[in-house]
């Protein structure tokens, strides 16, 4: 029983590692920007949920939106004139970038907000973002989402753990099962007699059904 739990935990741990590896490989892969016209209600909701309190109430536009099978990101901006003056040139431009990664489900998330006025950074807020410079030679995306999304992370971890089990453990599991059914030693395939251990390899034998 203990051995089974250890095995299960090992496969889940490996599944989690593969899950993160797959997600980040897709983040590092160069993706084409798709110019995006108009914001979806989901994107507006995202901005409103995560933007710092002093930021604009809602974004004006999505600048870029990149999507591929395991990686997705949106970048939005808003001009916030703080209510002090109505001149557009004094407005602070606020950018919000949202990143997701993971396949088959989105398993990692992160976001970054930055406020600029006259090309000077006034404020920067980052959450769940791992900044690894130099890993991506395409030079575009340096940010890796690193906050696990509970359900997606679980789904992907189980998915990869099952895949690894099928690749590395299932063949042995089924061979053992087949040998027992045919009356052979599960360890070496030698025909079993009436002994408690295999006369060929010394492995303990399952009790034959009466
Ligand atoms: Zn044997």
Q: How far is the CA of 10 from the centre of ligand 1 (A)?
A: 27
Q: For position 179, what pLDDT does the model report? A: 92
Q: How far is the CA of 194 from the centre of ligand 1 (A)?
A: 13
Domain boundaries, the chain: 2-162
Q: For position 143, what pLDDT does the model report? A: 85
Q: How far is the CA of 165 from the centre of ligand 1 (A)?
A: 24
Q: For position 62, what pLDDT does the model report? A: 78
Contact by Cβ (8 Å): 125, 113: yes
Q: How far is the CA of 6 from the centre of ligand 1 (A)?
A: 25
5-42 pLDDT per residue, tens: 999 999 999 999 999 999 998 888 777 777 766 788 88
Q: For position 56, what pLDDT does the model report? A: 87
Contact by Cβ (8 Å): 82, 71: no
DSSP state at residue 11 = H
Task: List, for the chain, all residue ranges whose pLDDT scores fall below the cut of 70.
Answer: 36-37, 82-90, 133-141, 208-210
pTM: 0.79
Q: For position 140, what pLDDT does the model report? A: 55
Q: Residue 56 corresponds to which tokens in the numbers above?
A: 């604009």
Q: For position 210, what pLDDT does the model report? A: 55
């Amino acid at each position: 029983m203990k051995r089974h739990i250890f095995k299960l935990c090992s496969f889940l741990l490996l599944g989690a590692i593969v899950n993160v590896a797959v997600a980040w490989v897709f983040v590092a892969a160069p993706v084409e920007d798709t110019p995006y016209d108009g914001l979806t209600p989901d994107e507006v909701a995202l901005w409103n949920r995560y933007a710092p309190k002093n930021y604009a109430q809602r974004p004006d536009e999505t600048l870029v939106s990149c999507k591929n099978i395991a990686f997705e990101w949106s970048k939005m901006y808003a001009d916030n004139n703080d209510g002090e003056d109505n001149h557009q040139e004094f407005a602070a431009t606020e950018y919000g970038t949202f990143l997701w990664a993971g396949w088959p489900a989105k398993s990692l998330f992160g976001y970054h907000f930055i406020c600029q006025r006259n090309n000077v950074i006034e404020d920067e807020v980052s959450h769940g973002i791992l900044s690894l410079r130099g890993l991506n030679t395409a030079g575009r995306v340096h940010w890796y989402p690193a906050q696990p999304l509970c359900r997606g992370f679980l789904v992907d971890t189980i998915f990869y753990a099952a895949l690894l089990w099928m690749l590395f453990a299932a063949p042995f599991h089924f061979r053992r099962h087949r040998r027992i059914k045919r009356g052979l030693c599960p360890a070496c395939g030698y025909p079993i007699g009436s002994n408690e251990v295999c006369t060929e390899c010394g492995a303990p034998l399952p009790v034959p059904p009466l």
